[in-house]
Amino acid sequence: LPKGMASLLTAPLVRENSMEDIDSVCLHCENSLLLCTCAVGCFMNSWFIKLDFSPTACNPWPCPAEAAPLWIENKNRLLFSQPEETEYRFSSQPFLLATVEGKHQDLKYITSEVMVSVLSGKFEHLVERTLVIDCRYPYEFEGGHIKGALNLHQEEEVERYLLKKPITPSSPDKRVLLIFHCEFSSERGPRMCRFVRERDRMLNQYPALFYPELYVLKGGYKEFFPRFQKECEPQAYRPMDHEDFKEDFRMFRLKSRTWAGERSKRDFYNRMKKL
């Protein structure tokens, strides 16, 4: 026999792969790939679930779009409850009062008309108590303020009045509303509103809150007074930079800055202790 023919006859027989065999191999590969994908998916899910996030005081939402890629944000929407359902202490009730846009996007603003509606008892069947927190300096408050308002212009005063012994509703169907304002509701009122939310977060386990509904009066007392003088006592308006109270202004401004500095130091020490 020819040399090439002899090697061909002595070689082991090899069966030609049929289309059925090829399909079987492909199916095996697809199954392996599917199992691998599922394993990776399970790992990714467990990784997402183990994420330990802590929302800030000013921003109660757990995962803002600007802080993570879009695909992570969408993943979180599936894994975690919606923000609207976690903002409140025991239920997913929406905010009671109608809100409008304001200077600070993270805060809820109401108009002077809504404020009057609340004070007149329009929502008394849903609200157990409404506290209007006037964050202006005492000489401003004494010169004219909204009836029933509390003059709490320092953070320690607000913390002592609202958080040492929180004001809670007598039944789950009732609410306690806090409405902050200052002269223009530009700085002091919003800052105090954020302070209460921050301290409230620290005292509770997320998402529980003593005061879920915090509002800021848009335009402050300056915008409220000309339109609703009958809701003020005395019926007058004393601006912060009044000529007769320059010394008072400097004194209270200095106290505010001193308190802010001490608070920053305390917060820093508290953070260091937790490390």
Q: Which of 87, 102, 130 is the last residue of a domain?
A: 87
| Per-residue confidence (pLDDT) for residue 261, from 0 to 100 | 53
Q: Specify whether 196 is located in the same domain as 173.
A: yes
Are 232 and 121 members of one domain?
Answer: yes
Active site residue 182: yes
Confidence category of residue 83, pLDDT binned at 50, 70, 90: very low
**Residue 220 corresponds to which amino acid?**
G
Domain assignment present for 81:
yes
Closest C-alpha among 258, 263, 109, 274 to residue 184? 109
Q: Which residues pair with 131 in a beta bridge?
A: 178
Verify that 126 and 178 share a domain, yes or no.
yes
Residue 146 belongs to a domain with what CATH number? Answer: 3.40.250.10
Is the predicted pLDDT of residue 204 greater than 60, yes or no?
yes
What is the β-pairing status of strands 127-134 and 175-181? parallel
Residue 53 lies in a domain: no
Domain count within the chain: 2
Q: The domain containing residue 217 runs over which residues? A: 93-240
Residue 51 lies in a domain: no
- pLDDT at position 253, please? 84
208 and 235 in a common domain: yes
**What's at 48, amino acid-wise?**
F
Q: Which of 105 and 252 is assigned the larger pLDDT?
A: 105
Q: Report if residue 27 sits inside a domain.
A: no
* Same structural domain, 77 and 191: no
On whether residue 77 sits in a domain, the answer given is: yes
**Left if phi > 0, otherwise alpha if psi is -120 to 50, otherwise beta: which for 131?**
beta
> Residue 252: what pLDDT?
80
Same domain, 117 and 133: yes
Q: Which residues have a Cβ under 8 Å from the Cβ of 48 and sit 6 or more positions away? A: 72, 75, 76, 79
Band the pLDDT of 6: cuts 50, 70, 90: low
Averaged pLDDT, 172-187: 96
Position 28 in a domain? no
Same domain, 169 and 62: no
> Same domain for 100 and 76?
no
- Decide which of 235 and 16 is more confident: 235
User: Does 83 share its domain with 161?
Assistant: no
Answer yes or no: do 118 and 189 share one domain. yes
List the single range of 89-93, 111-115, 177-181 with lowest mean pLDDT.
Answer: 89-93
Whether residue 184 lies inside any domain: the answer is yes
194 shares its domain with 79:
no
**249, part of any domain:** no
| Options 36, 58, 182, 232, the catalytic residue | 182
What is the C-alpha separation between 49 and 258, in angstroms, rounded?
Answer: 42
Find residue 65's DSSP bridge partners. Answer: none
What per-residue confidence (pLDDT) applies to 131? 98
Same-domain check for residues 76 and 97: no
Residues 6 or more apart whose CB falls under 8 angstroms from that of 123 comprise 96, 97, 117
Instruction: Give residue-wise pLDDT tens across range 125-158.
Output: 999 999 999 999 999 999 999 999 999 999 999 9
